[in-house]
């Protein structure tokens, strides 16, 4: 099964990805996590993209497409994967289509901006695993610590108001074209496209996703 998870920052892509990958036994490909890993390694790509991520701008299509390609050609991804945060531009959407991989589902998570700001401002993450918490909505068992490893949780560099606004602006600039693209693909019977009200409790969204994936699988 190949799934694409679309959604503005803070709509819960990372949170729901964890559920989907565990339930359906497919690996997650989060372009945000991959890019942050390069920054952490401080390699050539990492140096190039550091300020782009910090400011909430989009990384160039060729860099991101190449990183996705390098990931999916590994044997762990042969039986399917979940793309979290990719594609974000029409060029990226066409790139993945042109690879000849059959995408089964595109799920778009939708949340009003006001709630997005509340979610991102309270987010804490476990950088090693990508596990995401919220100080009020999804607190860790022990304050400031990952539930499993007990490592310290951190606030992301780009979870500052200016970068959040840029991330939202970039999402809105591209999302209309992406939605149109996938609606057309659905009309051609190439995939199933669902918009999900993701402003509800995460358990409710999880159930909704499960119903979609189980029924149509
Ligand atoms: P990325 O890491 O993908 O960030 P993003 O898209 O901005 O999304 P977020 O990770 O902020 O949010 P999320 O939707 O995963 O929400 P989460 O589950 O954490 O990308 C970072 C950057 O990398 C981009 O800005 C760009 O620079 C670059 N980049 C990445 N991909 C790229 C691409 N394809 N092309 C070009 N550049 C690219 O939830 C948020 C918070 O809310 C958490 O605290 C969580 O606990 C809480 N929460 C989740 N669900 C609920 C709920 N239902 N109710 C209450 N709280 C909830």
Percent of the chain residues past pLDDT 70, beyond the cut:
99
Decide: 32 in ligand 1 pocket, CB within 6 A: yes
pLDDT in tens, 154-209: 998 889 888 999 999 999 999 999 999 999 999 999 999 999 999 999 999 999 99
Q: How far apart are CA 26 and CA 43, in angstroms?
A: 28
Per the prediction, the chain carries an average pLDDT of 94
pTM of the model: 0.93
Return the residue whose CA atom lies nearest to atom 48 of ligand 1. Answer: 12
- Alpha-carbon distance of 213 to 217, in angstroms, equals 6
Task: Give the helix/strand (H/E) hosting 133.
Answer: strand 131-134
Q: Which helix (H) or strand (E) holds 108?
A: strand 105-110
Structural domains in the chain, CATH included, are 2-112+163-216 (3.40.50.300)
14: which residues sit within 8 A by CB, 6+ positions away?
30, 32, 84, 130, 132
Q: Which residues neighbour 176 within 8 Å (Cβ) at sequence distance 6 or greater?
A: none
- What are the residue numbers of the active site? 13, 88, 123, 156, 167
Q: What integer pLDDT is reported at residue 127 of this predicted model?
A: 83
Quickly tell me which residue has 């892509």 as its tokens.
13
Q: What is the pLDDT of residue 215?
A: 80
Token pair belonging to 97? 């289509």
| Number of the ligand 1 atom closest to the C-alpha atom of 35 | 23
Q: What is the DSSP string of 42-63?
A: T-HHHHHHHHHHHTTPPPPHHH
- The pLDDT value recorded for residue 128 is 83
**Per-residue pLDDT, 129:** 83
Ligand 1 site, residue 140, Cβ cutoff 6 A: no
Does ligand 1 have an atom closer than 6 angstroms to the CB of 13?
A: yes
Residue 83's SS3 state is: strand
Q: Token pair of 27, please? A: 């690996």
Determine contact, residues 61/174, Cβ cutoff 8 Å.
no
Mind listing the pLDDT tens digit of every residue in the chain (217 residues)? 999 999 999 999 999 999 999 999 999 999 999 999 999 999 999 999 999 999 999 999 999 999 999 999 988 999 899 999 999 999 999 999 999 899 999 999 999 999 999 999 999 999 888 788 999 999 999 999 999 999 999 998 889 888 999 999 999 999 999 999 999 999 999 999 999 999 999 999 999 999 999 985 5
Q: For the chain, what is the radius of gyration of the CA atoms?
A: 17
């Amino acid at each position: 099964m190949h799934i694409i998870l679309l959604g503005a920052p803070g709509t819960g892509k990372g949170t729901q990805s964890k559920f989907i990958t565990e339930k359906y036994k497919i690996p997650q490909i989060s372009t945000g996590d991959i890019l942050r890993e390069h920054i952490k390694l401080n390699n050539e790509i990492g140096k190039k993209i550091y300020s782009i991520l910090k400011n909430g701008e989009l990384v160039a299509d060729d860099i991101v497409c190449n990183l996705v390609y390098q990931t999916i050609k590994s044997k762990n991804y042969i039986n399917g994967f979940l793309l979290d945060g990719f594609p974000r531009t029409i060029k990226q959407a066409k790139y993945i289509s042109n690879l000849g991989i059959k995408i089964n589902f595109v799920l778009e998570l939708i949340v009003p901006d006001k709630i997005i700001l509340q979610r991102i401002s309270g987010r804490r993450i476990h950088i090693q695993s990508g596990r995401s918490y919220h100080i009020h909505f999804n607190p860790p068992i022990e304050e400031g610590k990952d539930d499993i490893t007990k490592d310290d949780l951190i606030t992301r560099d780009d979870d500052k108001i200016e970068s959040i606004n840029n991330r939202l602006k970039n999402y809105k600039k591209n999302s209309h074209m992406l939605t149109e693209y996938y609606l057309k693909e659905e009309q051609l019977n190439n995939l199933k496209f669902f918009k999900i009200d993701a402003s509800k409790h995460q358990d409710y969204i999880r159930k909704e996703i499960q119903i979609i994936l189980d029924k149509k699988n």
